[in-house]
Structure 1
Amino acid sequence: MIRKCVGSGSFLNLLVALIVVIGFAAVARVDLQNYPAEETPVYLIHAVAPGMPADYIDEKVRKPLEQAIRQLGEFEHLSTLSRDGQAELTVQRSTPFPGDYGQRLDKKLAEIAPALPGGRESVRWEQVPYGDRQIAYLLLQGNDLQTAWDAAAHTVRETLQQIPGVARVELEQGAVQQRVEVLLQPAKLKQYGLTPEEVSEQLQRQHATARIGEIGTDDEKTSLQWTSQPNSPQEWGNSLIATREGYVALKQIAIVQDKRASRGETVSLYQGEPFVGVRVYAEEHGQEPKIRNAVRTAVDLLNEQANGTFRLIRFPDEQLALASTLQNAFWLVGLAVSCAAFCVGWRFRQLAAGLLFGGAVGLALLALLGGIWLGGIAINIATLGALLFFAVWFVGAGTALFHQLTQLADWNLDAIAARVKRTLQAMLLALVIVFLLVFIAVYSDWLSVTDRATLLPALPLFGWGALSMIIVYGVILPAYCHKWLSKAPIPRAVRPVSRWAQHQKQRWSALMRKGYLPYVVSLSASLLLSFFFQPFVTVDPFLQLDTHEMHIRLPMIKGSSLDQAIAAERQAEQQLRQIKEIQELQANVSKELIRFEVRFKDRYDWEQSKPQLEKTIEQTLRQIPGTDPYELAIDGQTGSIEFTVKGPALQTTGELANQVLAYLQNLRWVDKQDREIITDERISTQSSDVPAIQFRPKREMLARYQISEEEIRDQLAFYLQEQQIGDLLWNGSIVPVIAKFPEMAREHPEQVKKFLIRTAEGTVPLAELAEAELGPPPAEFMREDGLYVMKVSAQLSEPSRRDTLSYYLPYQFRQEGRIPPGYTIQTADETEKEQQEEADQADWPTRLTVTAIACLIALSLGSAFGFKVRHVLLGLLLLPVLSGAVILALLALYRPYNLMAFYGVLASCGLILQQALPWMDSAARRTLNRLEQRVFSHAPATIGLLGSVLLGLFPMAMGMGQSGDYSASFAAALGSGVILAGWCLLVLLPALLGKEEQRAAAVDPSAAAEFRRWLRTEWSNYLVKRRDRAKQADKLDSLPSLAQSEQSGRVCRELTEDDFRPLSRDS
């Protein structure tokens, strides 16, 4: 193939041009997405049965659904939640492969849905996606809220929607009210004998537009319509309502409130000022970084054109991780290729060699991108790590190939082709081994199922990467090398210039003569470091990008107003912004709660650890006046104590949880101010702590007043819920008109009893038709993996008492024998520990089997390619040495182990195998040279490659760019692997190889031949003996049996006394 390419220069140039064109087309058109289009192996099932209580839902809906899912199998975790009117089930599969599980689940649900209380249409399911296509979150502030809302609804939305690639633009509701409220007056309704239902129905009927006919001839027809649609709130107030005393104006029985452009019940604040949130989403296919840049340009243009009337602010979010990683990848490739190309050019003493090296890496990357584009693969967070792996791989492949070319004695086409073919086989074998490492991760339980599923989208890249390497490094590069380069000069032996250098070289040689000792020490140290420090490394889900954000809930004290909440938020925000680690924050404020969304700087810029940062934020927010510091929650973690009760039976689990609740309620711990330490005890079976009032109909009264239960419920809905009775056209938009009963008239149960209900006998109070009684709050029941789960919590004003109570309560219950067999009471720490133990449970038979299969495949392929089995085995033995260095690097740089760190480890393994296998193969053919000489000749290329990669990793390791922390884990893992790769390639591998060569040389060839001859002789003897035994058995089978011989011979008589007498002499 190489000879044909050299002979046909036009074909070679055409092939290069084709790769370049397809590659640049891929750069411009390949899909760049933040999250993969594939979905997680987690399924959500929703079932509804309106009007059914939680216990009925648990028995009649949840139970058959759970049984059906268990019949399907293939699940790892199954959790359920039953509440009034609905049930939710979450299924996490035990395998990352999608298969036909969705089809079988849909078929199974369709079979059992008709038997459920809600019917066939009551059940639906969905597969959880990895993320949405949001590309920007904008904060719009104006001179006032109405100005900001108008600008967002018209100017900003219309401008952003015109950008190519933008699918939709959504505005956050709630900041500005756009409505007209009709507030009904209870006293007036009672005076005129009206109910809210009657008023709403009359207004809806009379404000409808109706066609009443036509006039004119055929050519000049005119349609006539009747409409009484009001054009202003004042006209709404003049609407007529029919009563028993005649018609009255709406304003006589209700207050019409114009709330257009008024502040909503919740306000979003940024730097203490309200804003309107704008979310921009990209289309399903497109390049998100390019669309984001277009949005950024449009935002700058809108800010210029606003002339101070409004201001758009880009709020940082996790969607920048993709763009930041691409930027760091560019720096990695650019710096590494430049440095390695310089080393190659210096070794050949030819500028063309460096240019060819850089061109080959670029051409291989373009070929890979072209294959990705032609294969319909999107570049996202799940596949970007594999792309970075191949960027490093191609740099190493070029270095290994050019180094092998420097060893050629004759610079001719046949020698180049033979050396390239052998080197390419070694690198293909190394790539297959790396792929087998991914195979081990996917098919065993080293990773969680969700994390294993994130590896699947990148698997096709290994095929395209291998094909790109074969085309570029196996065909194009050798042809151009023969055409443009000449033989590399033989490097002269350079003696060390100093005694220190001579001493270091001698120490290096001495280490290589230690045999197995350096490897055993290195492996032992690495495994010990892994064992002791691995628990301290932060492990993130592979596609978790929100490591830079924190969600805080700060409740207000009861009775606070919205203005007081805004004042508290401004004070809290002012103090939070003084914390150096916080980059940006915004808040959503209501009169009950303040919610903060905090974005942090990159970890490299932090001055304190995450636990210290959380403690600083907690101490800061506990000092805000007007707030409830005991209800403060940071990322869902509150100051409360929580006990989890688990058991197989609902009733027994509930009784045990109620005992725990009663125990907490009976504790009377007080602080120095004589205030109770334990407050707000609650149980998770209550979906809220609001008491429930149950109304039971009086059957005889319903018959007397000729009214049904359904009619009563419908009329009550008009008292308790808002009703849209019309709309109003204002500023080109539709403003809803809402009728509502005043909240002050429905705060207490006694007020509800006085609601007027229209019957055939007139209006009567609700108390005459139904009796009220106090009932339990709405309930909900949770199940996890076949066990009911109930959580009992309480607030502690002194967090120091938490550990005491966490230990004492379960201990007391166990001592008193109040926990039945099969039931447990756990604290939050114990629950987390149990979940961690479940996650750490290892299926060692599967792990060992999959690993053994992968090793067998690698050794078999190595033998098929003509490599010595011990060379492949030595390469595999070097890989475990990396574990300790990677863990130390992640821990020292405070980087999490995520998907990018996983690919960083793969890249480290790839570099070691890629350089080790070709070197061992070529070193085996140069047996006349001493091992040290072979290592010294290979060392400059290895050091140049590793130094080039380290230089390219520097910007990524420093977390350059916004959201650069995600890709920094790749640099931490690969950087430590590169450093240790030098030790493996220059010390451990030569020591192991030298020891193996000595052991092979110590074996006498004649003794080996004699041993093989002895084995053949023994095997032949065994076969002969086995054949003789078979013949003997057949011969015995052919002889007559004992019974047959007795029948054919004489008949023996019975024995007598004479037979036992001694024989005479004569006889």
Structure 2
Amino acid sequence: MLNRIIEFSLRNRMLVMIAGVVLLVAGTYTARKMEVDVFPDLNAPTVVVMTEASGMAAEEVERTVTFPIETAVNGATDVRRVRSSSTSGFSVVWVEFDWGTDIYLARQIVSEKLAALNETLPNNVGTPTLGPQSSILGELMIIGLTSDSTSLEELRTLADWTIRPRLLSTGGVAQVTVIGGDIKEYQILLDPARMKHFGVTTGEVLGVVENLTRNSSGGILNQHGNEYIIRGMLSTADEDEMGRAVIRIENGLPITLEQVADVRIGAKTPRLGTASERGKPAVLMTVTKQPNTNSLELTEKLDRAVAELSETLPADVHVSTDSFRQARFIEGSIDNIQKSLFEGAVFVVIVLLVFLMNFRTTVISLVALPLSLLVSILALKWMGLTINTMSLGGMAIAIGSLVDDAIIDVENVFKRLRENFARPKDQRLPTLSIVFEASKEIRTSVVHATIITIVAFVPLFFLDGMEGRMLRPLGISFIVALFASMIVAVTLTPVLCSYLLTGDRVLRRNEKEPVVSRFLKRVYRRALEWVLAHKKAVLGSTVVLFAGALAVFLSLGRSFLPPFNEGSLTINASTMPGISLEESDKIGSQVESILLEIPEIRTVVRKTGRAELDEHALGVGVSEIEAPYELADRSRSEFMADVRSRLGVLHGVNIEIGQPISHRIDAMLSGTKANIAIKLFGPDLNRLFALGNRIKSSIANIDGIADLNVEQQIERPQLQIRPKREMLARYGITLPAFAEFVEVALGGRVVSQVYDEGRSFDVTVKASDASRNDMERIGELMLDGTDGKVPLSYVADIVSTSGPNAIGRENAQRLIVVSANVADRDLRSVVNEIGETIRTQVPMPEGYHVEYGGQFESEQAASRTLTLTSLVALLVIFLLLYQEFRSLKIAGVILLNLPLALIGGVASLWLTSGEVSIPAIIGFISLLGIATRNGILLVSHYNHLRDEGMPLHESVVQGSLDRLNPILMTALSSALALIPLALGGNLPGNEIQSPMAKVILGGLLSSTLLNGFIIPSVYLIVNRKKPKA
């Protein structure tokens, strides 16, 4: 079949050329239009259910809101894990589905479960709301508003009603979350004494306020040929007019709202969170994109929208977008990987020019590069994937291999054309016939080598979870590009050879081999003859090298993914629960001040607490800080050590330091924004917290642990109002009426909304600040009884106590998490030591158990999968080799390249990172195929020469010399093309590809060097007893 393809191409040369140009144009157009992102979609199908439960304590939220929601969704189709957090006034439940579940189906399943649940939730609880459909990498930008004279209330109103709607109208935006400033509301502050004086009940006030903002309809009036809509304009946005609303008429005199309450415009309380920029109070807006949206294009649209909005804002309002921009990391990553691609291509060109010393042969070989890469992009587009660092990384790793098929073809064709030209003119064969025969001669072995390289990459597609999502596009782009290069080599390459290499002038100028080739062959012949004369010593030394490499490999550390270099820090600073937002804000400001003193940090923004209906269920004691930085005179490790040292002076504050994307990946893997999550499960929160602290103390001195924290699920102060049921009965107060009074008077109830010029503001009824901000005054609040007003202290006990600040759950079990990051040590050894320490020093009581989550869990699962599938791939490679050579011995000889490649791959890891990560394992897997190629070329040529009647020893020597050029060219082009990636591992975008490149580079160097001597030696040994006839 391959021969027919080559023959068809040579007969239809113009058609093949046109097809190549069409592919070039289509691929270029598609590449310019494709979505660009930093990573593939890594989001596990997750539906977030958020429920506001204003004023409820954490245990009430857990019992009456979270638990029913968990029960409803647990066991639903394809649900793999349910996590939740119940805090004061807020419940968030994360429903995680199996990988591959359609997110729209997942949301439908959860919506159906919630629809049946709504009627069972308490009346004072908001409707459960599904979070926006977005990716964990969907947070694109943080927009900050600051001002010297505009009030925080006006800033927040601008953000909520001017900027946010404009941003949401930008196509591709999923959510804009606003935090900071003061939320404007109309407040009806009840005065218990004045209400008692006028005999006004809370119910009467609620009834009046409910109708304050309702307009009425009077039908339609037809007059003078016009139709008039009649409206009763009761609604008002003026607080003075609200105060004059009549509650009832008493003795002919009106009792108005302002007589029993203060009506004013104020800031919504309690505040859930606050924000700042560079230590200055601010309003922050976090913009989240929808899935499958081009991040760079959307960022440009947002920049234009912000620029337009800035012109309409007050002159003193400053808008900033530089504190967090995912586009900065994307652009840097894509630029770096493209630079690596370009530099790799330059190395390939240099290798071809040095070895071929012919511009035309170099051009023919290089044509495979752009065509193969563009075909890969077309395949990515067809599969609905994006251009990202992973897909570009696959191309960068493949770039040296893409010209291999063309190099071998061109080198053999040019050699045969020169031989034909050297014959007498009357004995020369037609040039097209020579091109065809020369292509056919090496085609089978080259195609088998390419297929084997592709088979070696197949284990990548068996990875599950996030690592599968991340690395699969790399495998797709590598395999498609390699397959495309093979197609180019059997179609376009022979056609170009027939056009560019068949002229007499070209052949006359290149009758002799290039100088470099002749020199290398002279040196190689001497070395090979010496090795063949000392086979046992050389083979023995190689075995020792392999054994040493194996020992070193087993001693190397293990990690999941290399650390990213995002150019920004995400710092969580948490204080003891129960602290007020004001005090937490002060501590957050201290953290900001310390960070701004570090010269590399450019700016700082901080969010303390949480925004309304924000799935990040942070209490007021937690601050999240984004700090972009730019390294100059110090390394990243020195910079990070300085940050940790400076923040370590803050006593009573738990600090966790990460990076925006890394933080979110950790959160997706384990539910905790840290590398390691030690999950303690059990029924009693206090005991869980005590066990967590024991674990923290026992592992604190383990080398490599950083940012060690115990989740602060502890008791916080509570004021419990417990009704005396017999007293309620005496005064004729029902339990629902009692509960409503506590809710309205102390927590406040949003009764209606005021609409003012297209904006909506809550109208809230509650007791005045003076009567509810003091424990003693609370007891003096007056309830409505059947015979008049009754003090709250008469019908209820007011008790100061404590209760949990937050309650975390996973799969319907309470848990507390001890989290840690890893610094300057490999992940697996740290986890192993943690596990052994906990097992021996912190025994678990009955009903309590420990589970481990985080990156190491994924690393172990991925390593197992890759190991098993690699063994299968190795077996398939062996069968393919047997299929080609019909000899178990020959197949075994070729597979000797694998241990030879292992030597260099292990050496490169040992000399650089000292760790085996998942990308490094993939690098070793890649070597299964890449290193086998040279062995196939050698052995197939040995067999070809022996079939022509050449003696065994001469066929080995001559075959090795004949294949020296193509082997060196393919190996050097593949290896040198990887140098930019291998050396640029600290650059954004290159972090994951760099370990792969290092392994492949080292493996190619060792396998190529040893392949030229070990394969000939072993081939002689296995064939000397039975020479071919």
Question: How would you bin the TM-score normalised by the shorter chain?
Answer: 0.7 to 0.9
CA contact (8 A) 1:231 1:728 kept: yes
For the 8 Å contact 2:679–2:818, the answer to whether it is kept is: yes
Q: Would you say 1:223 and 2:229 are equivalent positions?
A: yes
Secondary structure of the residue aligned to 2:144 is strand
Change (3 A) 1:325 1:812: closer
Residue aligning to 1:669: none
Please tell me the residue identity of whatever aligns with 1:722: G
Give the Cα–Cα distance (whole angstroms) in 1 for the partners of residues 593 and 366 of structure 2: 52
Distance 1:393 1:224, change over 3 A: same
Which whole-Å CA distance do the structure 1 matches of 2:786 and 2:187 have between them? 30
State the alpha-carbon separation in 1 of the partners of residues 172 and 265 from structure 2: 35
| Cα distance, 1:217 vs structure 2 | 3.5
**1:254 is the counterpart of 2:261:** yes
Report the equivalent of 2:493: 477
Query: CA shift at 1:340, angstroms?
Result: 2.0
Once structures 1 and 2 are overlaid, which stretch shifts more, 723-732 or 52-61? Answer: 52-61
Q: Is the 8 A contact 2:23 2:371 kept in 1?
A: yes
Q: CA deviation at 1:480?
A: 1.1
CA contact (8 A) 2:572 2:656 kept: yes
Cα gap change, 1:317 to 1:789, in 2 (>3 Å): same
Q: Which runs of 5+ in 1 are unaligned?
A: 665-680, 794-805, 1010-1067
Aligned to 1:136: 141
Aligned to 2:891: 869
Superposed displacement of residue 397, structure 1: 4.0
Structure of higher CA gyration radius: 1
Aligned residues of 1:79 and 1:783 also touching (Cα < 8 A): yes
Q: Does structure 1 retain, via aligned residues, the 8 Å contact 2:160–2:178? A: no
Deviation string for 1:630-685 (max 9, x for gaps)? 5555569999xx998656xx5xx789769979999xxxxxxxxxxxxxxxx9998x
Cα–Cα, structure 1 residues 483 and 161, in superposed 2: closer, same or farther, change >3 Å? farther
Which of 188, 194, 199 lines up with 2:194 in the alignment?
188
Distance change (3 Å), C-alpha of 1:407 and 1:839: same
Alignment check: 8 A CA contact 2:719 2:800 kept: yes
Please show how residues 989-1008 of structure 1 align to structure 2 within 5 Å: 989-1004=1011-1026
Identify the residue that residue 10 of structure 2 maps to in structure 1: 6
Rounded to whole Å, the distance in 1 between the matches of 2:759 and 2:528 is 83
Distance, in Å, in 1 between the alignment partners of 2:649 and 2:1022 is 75
Q: CA offset at residue 389 of structure 1?
A: 3.8
8 A Cα contact 2:190 2:260, kept in partner = yes
Partners of 2:860 and 2:910 in 1: CA distance:
24
How far 1:998 sits from its partner (Å)?
A: 2.0
Structure 1 partner of 2:394 = 386
Distance 1:629 1:83 in 2: 21
* Cα shift at 1:482: 1.7
Q: What does 1:849-868 correspond to in 2, within 5 Å?
A: 850-866=869-885, 868=890
C-alpha distance in 2 between matches for 1:662 and 1:331: 48
**Considering only aligned residues, what root-mean-square deviation do their CA atoms show, in Å?**
5.7
Q: Deviations over 1:49-85 (max 9, x none)?
A: 999969978999699779957xx8996x787879999
Aligned-partner Cα distance in 2 for 1:80–1:149? 30
Query: For residues 720-759 of structure 1, what are the structure 2 equivalents within 5 Å?
Result: 720-728=746-754, 733-747=759-773, 750-759=776-785
The 5-angstrom pairing of residues 519-538 of structure 1 reads: 519-535=542-558, 538=559
CA displacement at 1:363 relative to structure 2 = 1.5
Q: How does 1:517-666 map to 2 (within 5 A)?
A: 517-535=540-558, 538-540=559-561, 548-553=568-573, 555=575, 562=582, 572-588=591-607, 593=621, 595-599=623-627, 601=629, 606-607=634-635, 609=637, 616-621=642-647, 623=649, 629-632=652-655, 634=657, 650=683
Residues 1:482 and 1:958: Cα distance change in structure 2 (over 3 Å) = same
The answer to whether the 8 A contact 1:210-1:226 is kept is yes
Aligned partner letter, 1:540: L
Separation of aligned partners in 2, 1:749 and 1:601: 47
Equivalent position SS for 1:968:
coil
Which residue number in structure 2 is paired with residue 1035 of structure 1?
A: none
Secondary structure of the 1:516 match is helix
User: Residues 656 and 215 from structure 1, CA distance in 2 versus in 1: closer, same or farther, beyond 3 angstroms?
Assistant: closer
Change in Cα spacing, 1:376 to 1:56, as seen in structure 2 (3 Å) is closer
Letter in 2 for 1:709: L
Q: Structure 2 CA distance, aligned partners of 1:965 and 1:232?
A: 55
| Unpaired segments ≥5 residues, structure 2 | 422-430, 610-618, 664-671, 696-708, 820-834
- 1:835: Cα distance to partner? 8.0
Does the 8 Å CA contact 2:40/2:386 hold for their aligned counterparts? yes
The amino acid across from 1:19 in the alignment is: L
- TM-superposed deviation, 1:23: 0.8
Which residue number corresponds to residue 331 of structure 1?
A: 339
Confirm or deny: 8 A CA contact 2:344 2:980 kept in the other structure. no
SS at match of 1:20: helix
TM-score by length of 1: 0.72
2:426 alignment counterpart: none
Matches within 5 A, 1:175-574: 175-217=181-223, 219-242=225-248, 246-259=253-266, 266-282=273-289, 284-293=291-300, 295-296=302-303, 310-380=318-388, 383-408=391-416, 409-410=419-420, 412-421=431-440, 423=442, 425-441=444-460, 443=462, 449-456=465-472, 461=477, 464-465=480-481, 467-486=483-502, 489-491=511-513, 514-535=537-558, 538-540=559-561, 548-553=568-573, 555=575, 562=582, 572-574=591-593
Between the two proteins, the alignment pairs up a number of residues equal to 936
Is the Cα–Cα contact under 8 Å of residues 602 and 959 in structure 1 kept in the other structure? no
| Distance of aligned partners of 1:127 and 1:74 in 2 relative to their CA distance in 1, 3 Å threshold | farther
% identity of equivalent residues:
15
Q: Amino acid of the residue matched to residue 720 of structure 2?
A: I
Select the residue among 714, 718, 731 that pairs with 2:744: 718
After superposition, give the CA deviation of every residue in 1:128-178 in whole Å (9 maximum; x if it has no partner): 975254433333444544586677668866876787x54467362432433
Q: Given residue 1020 of structure 2, which amino acid in structure 1 is its aligned partner?
A: Q
Aligned twin of 2:735: 709
Equivalent residue, structure 1, for 2:720: 693
Report the 3-state secondary structure (helix = DSSP H, G, I; strand = E; otherwise coil) of the residue aligned with 1:967.
coil
Cα distance change of structure 1 residues 588 and 559 upon mapping to structure 2, 3 Å threshold: same
Residues 881-892 of structure 1: pairs in structure 2 closer than 5 A: 881=903, 883-885=905-907, 887-888=909-910, 891=913
Deviation at 1:723, TM superposition (A): 3.1
Residue number in structure 1 paired with 2:20? 16
C-alpha displacement of 1:205: 1.4
Taking structure 2 as the reference length, the TM-score comes to 0.74
CA shift, 1:342, in A, is: 4.0
1:161 to 1:66, Cα distance in 2 relative to 1, 3 A: closer
- SS across alignment from 2:401: helix
CA distance in structure 1 between the aligned counterparts of 2:905 and 2:6, rounded to whole angstroms: 40
Instruction: From the superposition, tell whether residues 556 and 622 of structure 1 become closer, same or farther in structure 2 (CA, over 3 Å).
Output: farther
Return closer, same or farther for 1:526/1:161 CA change in 2, 3 Å cut-off. same
1:974 to partner: Cα distance: 0.4
After superposition, the Cα gap between the structure-2 partners of 1:114 and 1:740, relative to the gap in structure 1 and judged at 3 Å, is closer
